[in-house]
Structure 1
Amino acid sequence: MYVVRVDVLDEDRADALFHALADRTRRDIVRRVLAGEHSVSTLAAHYDMSFAAVQKHVAVLDRAGLITKRRHGREQLASGEVTAIRSVSSLLAELEQVWRGRVARIDDLLASENAASDNAVSENTREE
């Protein structure tokens, strides 16, 4: 039973990560804070939206673990979490392996069908 719970937690984590990265603004925020720590107000200056809207984007990224926030006086500073980005990369690599395996199986099926078709054609030409 414990293993199932771990899988559910992993899936919940993957959902949170991909949900957070599904938005263009949030992906841009992640790029900026991976390059260096930024205050939320500095980040907000880069976008054509309210400070509160940017704050909400930062909160989604924080909940997903893609960034961390810390207080420095009156400002909230955000920085990127490289470990979380690596876990996203790892998840994508796993999905890529699954799809590569499926494509390889399709290629094998097509090759065996072509070989069977070629054999049938050559048998028909021999009979004539």
Structure 2
Amino acid sequence: MDYLDNLKAKERFTEQGDAIVFESEVDKVYLAAPSKIAIIDHEKKRTFVVTKEGLPDAVVWNPWDKKAKAMQDFGDAEYKSMLCVEPAAVERPITLKPGEEWKGRLVLSAVPSSYCSGQLDPSKVLQG
């Protein structure tokens, strides 16, 4: 999947695989992201699903430790328990003329975890 890395002057990269693992600061815009995105918390064995319509891209952000400590409205260790996944229209912004309408939709769901034998299977939570 193609993404723009905001930490590298919005340079465009391609990422392989169907999962993103966070081990440091991240600020990426995934282009033409899937309409359903599973956020799987392995530690707490829980899953959240972001379903989006009309917003083709997805921003994924976590400040990690150094930036979290520098933010006045963010606790020093809060980066460990948060992730921003935000549907967006970055590559092709939506521009409306007077009188035009546009509709976008975002649904956040907490779903039963698909935790089984030490693995979480995102394909199971994304069905339906």
TM-score of the two chains, using structure 2 as the length reference: 0.21
Larger radius of gyration: 1
More strand by share: 2
Q: Which has the higher helix share?
A: 1
